[in-house]
Structure 1
Amino acid sequence: MATTTTTTTADNTPKFHQTSEFRPENNPAISPPTHDGLQFWQFMVAGSIAGSVEHMVVFPIDTLKTRMQAIGSSSSYKAPSPTLRQSFVSIMQIEGLGGFYRGIAAMGLGAGPAHAVYFSVYELCKKNFTAGNPNNSIAHALSGVFATVASDAVITPMDVVKQRLQLTGSPYKGFGDCVKRVLLEEGVGAFYASYRTTVVMNAPFTAVHFATYEAAKRGLMEISPENVRDEETLVVHATAGAAAGALAAAVTTPLDVVKTQLQCQGVCGCDRFSSGSISDVVQAVVKRDGYGGLMRGWIPRMLFHAPAAALCWSTYEAAKSFFHARNGSEDDRNFS
Structure 2
Amino acid sequence: MGSEENNTELYKITTTQQVIASCCGAIVTSLLVTPLDVIKIRMQAQNNSFVNGKSFIYSNGLMDHVFVCDNGNSKAWYTKPGHFRGMWDAFMKIVKIEGIKSLWSGLPPTLIMALPGTVIYFTSYDQLSEVLISKLGKDSGHIPVLAGTISRLGSLTVVSPVELIRTKMQARRLSYKQLQICISNTIAKDGWFSLWRGWSATALRDVPFSALYWYNYERFKKKLCKKFDAREPTFVISFTSGAAAGSIAAAVTLPFDVVKTHRQTEIWSYETLNVSQKGSKSTWTTMKRIFAEYGFTGLFAGIVPRLIKVAPACAIMISTYEYGKSFFRKLNKQKNHKDKNSHSS
Q: Calculate the TM-score normalised by the size of structure 2.
A: 0.66
Q: Which whole-Å CA distance do the structure 2 matches of 1:325 and 1:67 have between them? A: 43
For 1:327, the equivalent position in structure 2 comes to 332
For 2:128, the equivalent position in structure 1 comes to 125
Task: Choose 184-193 or 123-132, whichever is displaced more.
Answer: 184-193
Q: Which whole-Å CA distance do the structure 2 matches of 1:193 and 1:49 have between them? A: 30
For 2:19, the equivalent position in structure 1 comes to 44
Residues 209-245 of structure 1 deviation map (CA, whole Å, 9 limit, x = unaligned): 00100110111122222xx2x4422110100000011
Structure whose residues are more often helix by fraction: 2
Shift in CA distance, 89/221, structure 1 to aligned 2, threshold 3 Å: closer
Q: Aligned runs of 1:297-316 on 2, under 5 Å?
A: 297-316=302-321
The structural deviation recorded for 1:326 is: 2.0
For 1:146, the equivalent position in structure 2 comes to 150
Q: Which whole-Å CA distance do the structure 1 matches of 2:236 and 2:143 have between them? A: 25
Shift in CA distance, 64/190, structure 1 to aligned 2, threshold 3 Å: farther
Shift in CA distance, 55/261, structure 1 to aligned 2, threshold 3 Å: farther
| 3-state SS of 1:134 partner | coil
Residues 277-308 of structure 1 deviation map (CA, whole Å, 9 limit, x = unaligned): 21132234345544433223222211111111
Alignment of 1:58 with 2:33, yes or no, is yes
Q: Is the 8 A contact 2:40 2:87 kept in 1?
A: no
Counterpart selection for 2:299 from 294, 300, 305: 294
Q: Which whole-Å CA distance do the structure 2 matches of 1:280 and 1:320 have between them? A: 43
Question: Which stretches in structure 2 are left out of the alignment for 5+ residues?
Answer: 1-5, 52-83, 188-192
Whichever residue aligns with residue 248 of structure 1, its letter is: A
Task: Choose 277-286 or 214-223, whichever is displaced more.
Answer: 277-286
Shift in CA distance, 59/287, structure 1 to aligned 2, threshold 3 Å: farther
Q: Calculate the TM-score normalised by the size of structure 1.
A: 0.67
Task: Choose 134-143 or 90-99, whichever is displaced more.
Answer: 90-99
Percent of aligned positions with the same letter in both sequences? 27
Q: Is the 8 A contact 2:121 2:151 kept in 1?
A: yes
Task: Choose 153-162 or 306-315, whichever is displaced more.
Answer: 153-162
For 1:114, the equivalent position in structure 2 comes to 117
Residues 78-121 of structure 1 deviation map (CA, whole Å, 9 limit, x = unaligned): xxxxxxx9996998899978776443322110111111111121
Alignment of 1:195 with 2:224, yes or no, is no
Q: Is the 8 A contact 1:106 1:161 kept in 2?
A: no
Task: Choose 253-262 or 235-244, whichever is displaced more.
Answer: 253-262
Task: Choose 182-191 or 107-116, whichever is displaced more.
Answer: 182-191
Q: CA RMSD in A?
A: 4.3
Residues 123-173 of structure 1 deviation map (CA, whole Å, 9 limit, x = unaligned): 1211121247434221111100011001112333565688999xxxx9778
Q: Whose radius of gyration is greater, 1 or 2?
A: 1
Shift in CA distance, 245/38, structure 1 to aligned 2, threshold 3 Å: same
Q: Which whole-Å CA distance do the structure 2 matches of 1:238 and 1:64 have between them? A: 24
Q: Which whole-Å CA distance do the structure 2 matches of 1:191 and 1:151 have between them? A: 15
Q: Which whole-Å CA distance do the structure 1 matches of 2:320 and 2:194 have between them? A: 33
| 3-state SS of 1:129 partner | helix
Q: Which whole-Å CA distance do the structure 1 matches of 2:35 and 2:119 have between them? A: 23
